[in-house]
C-alpha cells in the first residue's frame, strides 16, 4: 500500500469534517476501506484520529464563543459509557448500518432543501437529551465513529441549537465518545495499529485548518452545505461497506 495518497486523503477528510464540528471518523473509515486496510486496523485508527481532530475542533469553536455546557452535558453523560460498551462489542450490524446510512442521506437532502434560517425554537428537555445522547453514544461505539454525524443534524432539525452551536456541541460529544470507544476497543483487542501514527499528523494539519475556518470564517449557510456533503459521504459509506 502506498502511504502518501492515504495521508493526503486523511488530511482532506479532516479539513472537510472539522469545518462542521466533526472529526472525520466516517470519512477515515471510507478512505481506509478504499485503500484496503483490515477492519481490525480501521476502527481503532479512525477513533484515534477522531480524538486528535475533535480536540482541535472543540478548542476552536469554544474560543469563538459557540460552546454551551448547558446544551452539551445532558447529551454526553450517558453517551460516554455506552460508547465504551459499543466499542467493546462486535456485532453483525450490516442491516443496521444500511438503515442508518439511508437516514443520513435523507438528512443531507433535507439540509439542502431547508431555508437558511439559523434560529433556536427550544432546547431539549433533560430526559430527552439524556436518552438521545445515550442512544447516539452506543451507536457511535458500534460504528467506530464519535456520534457527531448523528447529533448535528438532529440538533438542527429539532431546532435545539444554531448551526455553530450545534457544531461546537458535536465536537465535544465526539471527543468524549471517541475516547470511550477507543478505550473499549483496546480493552477488547489489546492492539493499536502502527499506521495510525503517520496518519495522525495529516489529520492534525487538516483539522487545524478546517476547524479554524468553520469556527471563524464560514457563515452558517456554508457550514450547512458542507454538512450535507459530509452526511452524503458518511451515509454512502455505511450503506456500501460492511
According to DSSP, residue 123 is labeled P
**Residue 36 per-residue DSSP state:** T
**Orientation of helix 25-34 relative to helix 39-63, angle to 10°:** 150
- Distance between CA 23 and CA 46 in Å, rounded? 9
In this prediction, residue 219 carries a pLDDT of 87
What are the residue boundaries of the structural domains of the chain, listed by start? 3-240
Per-residue pLDDT of the chain (242 residues; tens, 9 = 90+): 578 999 999 999 999 999 999 998 888 988 888 888 887 888 899 989 999 999 999 999 999 999 999 999 999 999 999 988 887 876 666 766 777 788 788 888 877 776 556 778 788 999 999 999 999 998 887 777 788 888 998 998 898 999 999 999 999 999 998 898 888 888 888 889 999 999 999 999 999 999 999 999 898 888 888 988 888 888 887 788 65
pTM for this one? 0.86
Buried b (16+ CB within 10 A) or exposed e, 96-106: ebeebbeebbe
Count helices and strands (H / E) in the chain: 10, 0
Q: To the nearest 5 percent, what fractions of the chain are helix, strand and coil?
A: 80, 0, 20
Read off the C-alpha cell for 59: 478548542
CB atoms within 10 A of CB 121: 7
Residue 151 is predicted with a pLDDT of 93
Which pLDDT does position 91 carry in this prediction? 61
Instruction: Give the pLDDT score at 62.
Output: 96
Amino acid at each position: 500500500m502506498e502511504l502518501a495518497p492515504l495521508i493526503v486523503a486523511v488530511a482532506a477528510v479532516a479539513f472537510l469534517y472539522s469545518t462542521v464540528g466533526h472529526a472525520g471518523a466516517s470519512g477515515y473509515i471510507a478512505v481506509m476501506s478504499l485503500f484496503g486496510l483490515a477492519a481490525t486496523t480501521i476502527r481503532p485508527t479512525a477513533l484515534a484520529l477522531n480524538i486528535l481532530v475533535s480536540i482541535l475542533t472543540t478548542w476552536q469553536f469554544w474560543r469563538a464563543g459557540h460552546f454551551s455546557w448547558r446544551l452539551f452535558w445532558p447529551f454526553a453523560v450517558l453517551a460516554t459509557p455506552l460508547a465504551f460498551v459499543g466499542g467493546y462489542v462486535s456485532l453483525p450490524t450490516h442491516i443496521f448500518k444500511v438503515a442508518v446510512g439511508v437516514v443520513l442521506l435523507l438528512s443531507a437532502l433535507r439540509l439542502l432543501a431547508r431555508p437558511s434560517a439559523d434560529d433556536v425554537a427550544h432546547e431539549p428537555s433533560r430526559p430527552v437529551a439524556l436518552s438521545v445522547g445515550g442512544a447516539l453514544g452506543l451507536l457511535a461505539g458500534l460504528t467506530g465513529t464519535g456520534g457527531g454525524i448523528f447529533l448535528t443534524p438532529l440538533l438542527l432539525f429539532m431546532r435545539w441549537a444554531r448551526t455553530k452551536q450545534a457544531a461546537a456541541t458535536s465536537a465535544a460529544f465526539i471527543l468524549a465518545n471517541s475516547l470511550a470507544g477507543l478505550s473499549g476497543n483496546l480493552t477488547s483487542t489489546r492492539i493499536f495499529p502502527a499506521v495510525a501514527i503517520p496518519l495522525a499528523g495529516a489529520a492534525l494539519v487538516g483539522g487545524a485548518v478546517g476547524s479554524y475556518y468553520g469556527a471563524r470564517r464560514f457563515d452558517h449557510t456554508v457550514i450547512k452545505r458542507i454538512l450535507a456533503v459530509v452526511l452524503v459521504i458518511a451515509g454512502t459509506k455505511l450503506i456500501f461497506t460492511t
